Amino acid sequence: MATRNIVKEGDSVLAKKCRPVERYDEKLALLLDDMIETLKQAGGVGLAAPQVGILRRIFIMDINDEIIEAINPEIIKRSGKVRDVEGCLSVPNRWGYVTRPKSVVLRAYDRNGNLYERKFTDLGARCACHESDHLEGQLFTALVDEWAEPERE
Ligand code: ZN
């Protein structure tokens, strides 16, 4: 496992639509392992493949100390609305208010190519939506209705 460099806002890779994963192979497993290492080291909640420069439909989340891997993900149900502060590892030190669903149902494949459906609420729902947006080339900054005060050192 190795950590990968996190691409920052302004890099055109973050504005591109990602292509589906076609092969559930060793290369995919290696990428996922590296993404997990990178996310843990950065102390984030979620990480999408384009954030490490890979234009494929993959993201991971670290919710309540559980790693969720989502390959070719789709949000098939959204309910409720919550407005809360959100940030992104590609947009350091900027936090803003974004309205997201209170809960979502995520349909995705795991690294072995098995399809699953799972419901997420609150942070998990927010993160699943945020990471799904990355796969469409969209950053949360486009959805912010009010910026939060930056944290002071
Ligand atoms: Zn992000």
Distance between Cα 144 and ligand 1 center (Å): 13
Count of C-beta atoms within a 10 Å radius of residue 120: 21
The residue annotated as part of the active site, out of 37, 69, 131, 136, is 131
Which chain residues have CB less than 5 Å from ligand 1, an ion?
Answer: 88
Distance between Cα 47 and ligand 1 center (Å): 6
Count of C-beta atoms within a 10 Å radius of residue 84: 12
Which secondary-structure segment (H or E) carries 6? none
pLDDT digits (tens, 9 = 90+) for 31-47: 999 999 999 999 999 99
Distance between Cα 127 and ligand 1 center (Å): 8
pLDDT digits (tens, 9 = 90+) for 96-145: 999 999 999 999 999 999 999 999 999 999 999 999 999 999 999 999 99
Distance between Cα 50 and ligand 1 center (Å): 10
At residue 66, does pLDDT exceed 60?
Answer: yes
Distance between Cα 97 and ligand 1 center (Å): 14
Identify whether 131 is a catalytic site residue: yes
Q: What is the mean pLDDT of the chain?
A: 96
pLDDT, residue 153, reads 53
